[in-house]
Amino acid sequence: MRSHFSRAYSITCVVTLAGLLAACSGQKDGAPPPGAGMPPPEVSIVTLAPQTVTLSRELPGRTVPYLVAEVRPQATGIVKERLFVEGALVKAGQPLYQLDDALYRAEAASARAALARAEATLNTATLNAKRSVELLKIEAVSKQDDENAQAARQQAEADVAAARAVLDRAQINLAYARIASPISGRIGKSSVTPGALLTANQEAALATVQQLDPMYVDVTQSSSELLELRRQLASGRMKAANIPVEIVLEDGSRHAHKGKLAFSETTVDPATGSYTLRIVVPNPDQVLLPGIYIRAVVGSGTRENAILAPQRAVTRDPKGNAFAMVLDAGGLAQVRPLKASQTVGDQWLVEEGLAAGERVIVEGLQKIRPGMPAKVAQPPAPAATPAAAPPPAAKK
């Protein structure tokens, strides 16, 4: 009983499946396949043409002060007065701190008196030496006495030189009691207050002065990109160009002033495989501060006869390989693998796979498959300008 029921059920399923297939086909034997009479889908294309483009890279980096000077004392003493406002702009040579200089003034005065005494002694020794020379001519003194007089004059001259050096040193120490800014720039906070004891050449800095106009920007670039750039320049595919560097701030806005490349580091960091580029950027408005993260648009050169394809025409497979759909001379869609190196605005720079004059499909890609015919859509006609209404007729 069960076997008879199973055989009947199987026959019913086969008959039902055949009926469904016939219904779905909707055609008789010998009828054309579905869609054979449908017109080819319309697509929009872009015809590629060679162009001269300026290539650039957007590199990350941080701002660095143009000059940095840590203010340290060169004399020992008590801070008597602070002569600047924290965070203000200071000039080179502007006094920042005044130490208690009473001891240094006394030392300078003592050295000045010692110099005066040495000069008086030299004056006396010089007169004695001249007198001795005249007396030796008439043999009024011995030759030994004359030699002693000349040696005393020379010793007095040396004493004057030594006293003058002591005075110079005392005056230098007195000047060090008034601590000045070594450079022009913006000064930070002070680490000491009046009454603090300072030691000459101490390790702790009193304050830091930074010159912020112009400003350095240090960015990093991959060493592989450098090798590729040099290879293209050597082969003639790219020409070097001195292009100003644009600075993109953290909020996406662009700095008002463009910079220029100062130099590139000669050593590649083995940990990251990159090297450093230093850019000089004018910063008169003090918009850039030290340590800000920025992006620098650095021009690498110009490329002639470059092939650019719209980004919307280039797709990638799950492995990351790029390809585009083109229309051949017969109007059939063809898949074209390509190699795209970088973006230039809203386009890809194509290194391999596409040539000038080829028609790349940019719209209607979802309607076609490789080998299918396609029709180029006509661009929409411009909207007609409405005719001006006639002036109203004058009432009679």
Beta strand spans in 228-344 (E): 238-239, 246-248, 260-264, 274-281, 293-310, 315-316, 322-327, 333-344
State the average pLDDT over residues 105-115.
96
**Contact predicate 321/241, CB 8 Å:** no
DSSP bridge pairs for 152? none
- Homologous superfamily, domain 51-64+211-376: Efflux pump adaptor protein, beta barrel domain (2.40.30.170)
Q: Which residues contact 114 (CB under 8 A, 6 or more apart)?
A: 163, 166, 167
Q: What is the mean pLDDT of residues 286-302?
A: 87
| Helix, strand, coil fractions of the chain, as percent rounded to 5 | 30, 35, 35
Identify the burial level of 313 via C-beta atoms within 10 angstroms of its C-beta, where 0-12 means exposed, 13-18 middle and 19 or more buried.
buried
- Pairwise CA distance, residues 67 & 392, whole Å: 76
Is the pTM higher than 0.85? The answer reads no
Residue 255 scores a pLDDT above 60:
yes
CATH for 101-176 is 1.10.287.470
What ranges do the domains of the chain cover?
Answer: 51-64+211-376, 73-97+179-204, 101-176
pLDDT-based confidence at residue 209 (cuts at 50, 70, 90): very high
Torsional sign, CA 225, 228, 232, 233: positive
Q: 205 forms bridges with which residues in the sheet?
A: none
**pLDDT digit string, tens, across residues 226-248:** 776 677 667 666 666 667 888 99
- Model confidence at 21, pLDDT cuts 50, 70, 90, reads very low
Q: Would you give the DSSP letter of residue 33?
A: P
CATH architecture of the domain 73-97+179-204 equals: Beta Barrel (2.40)
Q: How far, in Å, are 98, 133, 250, 325, 359 from residue 334 at the CA level?
A: 82, 115, 43, 6, 10
- 3-state class of 377 per DSSP? coil
* Model confidence pLDDT, tens digit, residues 308-329: 889 888 988 888 889 898 988 8
